[in-house]
Amino acid sequence: MRKLVIGSRGSQLALRQSELLQEALQKYHPDLESSIQIIRTTGDKTPQADLSKLATSVKGLFVKEIEEALLQHQIDLAVHSLKDLPTQTPEGLTLAAILPREDARDALVTASPAIHSLQALPQQAKLGTGSLRRRVQLQLLRPDLVISPLRGNVDTRIKKIQQENLDGIILAAAGLNRLGLHDKIAYLFPVEEMVPAIGQGALAIEIRTDDDSTRQIVEPVDDPATHNCTFAERRFLEKMGGGCDVPMGAHASISEDKATFTAFVAGPRSLQVARTSSQGKPQELDELALEAARYLLAHGGDKMLEESSVQYQP
């Protein structure tokens, strides 16, 4: 069996995610050899930029150079945080597998070990986040909060709590768990309270469409439930026509033969918000996603998206 070259960003979390893929593949292919090739992306080259103020779409900032390396046969496959991927995959590439999903929720990491909820934070507490989706939902939950821009890898962001005198920061629980930092989590936001980003917590394996041998190697690690849930979320995003530079989120889950789809969209300036949650059978997930998009667009979501299309200046 040939040696696979895995393309990855160079952050500690990205490398850990590539290692998780190597471990998963090893279970099905004990003799498989693989190596990780680090590729710097546009998002990595502008670590201090506030993503909500960048002129280009945020979607693709963390994947473009990796996909180019894949198309040029410099690597055999790529591991992405699914939430970073645009809904349209470049011609010649395909998502061959989605690994079992980690916790999709957002997590609060606080400066004080005594604080274990958002409501326990003091009035006008200062929280850091680089996500417009999180920023808007925090403002809806606690209008008094002072929200500061936050960039960098997980370790850098945690250090900024002290460096920038923050009361706390919001991170994806999945990243903290994968890095063994679950003890840093002070509070996990229920999906109904803070709707996650599309695909949050899931890892996608991208390959060249015509590379059948790599497809056969990675297909066994695909998790059908995660695949179906995250692809439904991406169908919702495609129908809405937004990206991660829009305050919008969706989460699909399957439990005991019942599927649940929750979504929201908001106006970044007006803070008007539309939400929906529905249930059905697992095989109806795609339709639940499309119904959610239609509902939100019919209840002011179209105007909220227009509000987001104007360059947002917080």
* Phi, psi of 255, rounded to the nearest 5 degrees: -145, 125
Is the CB of residue 149 less than 8 Å from the CB of residue 128? yes
- Residue 180 sits at φ, ψ, to 5 deg, of 70, 25
Instruction: Decide: 175 and 109 in contact? Cβ < 8 Å.
Output: no
Instruction: Say how far apart CA 180 and CA 244 lie, in whole Å.
Output: 26
- What is the spatial distance between Cα 188 and Cα 207, in angstroms, rounded to a whole number? 33
Q: Which two tokens stand for residue 144?
A: 């008094």
- Parallel/antiparallel/unpaired status of strands 168-172 and 126-128: parallel
Is 223 labeled as catalytic in the residue annotation? no
DSSP per-residue codes, 152-210: S-HHHHHHHHHHTT-SEEEEEHHHHHHTT-GGG-SEE--TTTSPPPTTTT-EEEEEETT
Of the candidates 31, 44, 76, 84, the residue annotated as catalytic is 84
Query: From CA 101, how far away is CA 53, in angstroms rounded?
Result: 30
Which DSSP symbol is given to 220? Answer: G
Residues forming the active site: 84
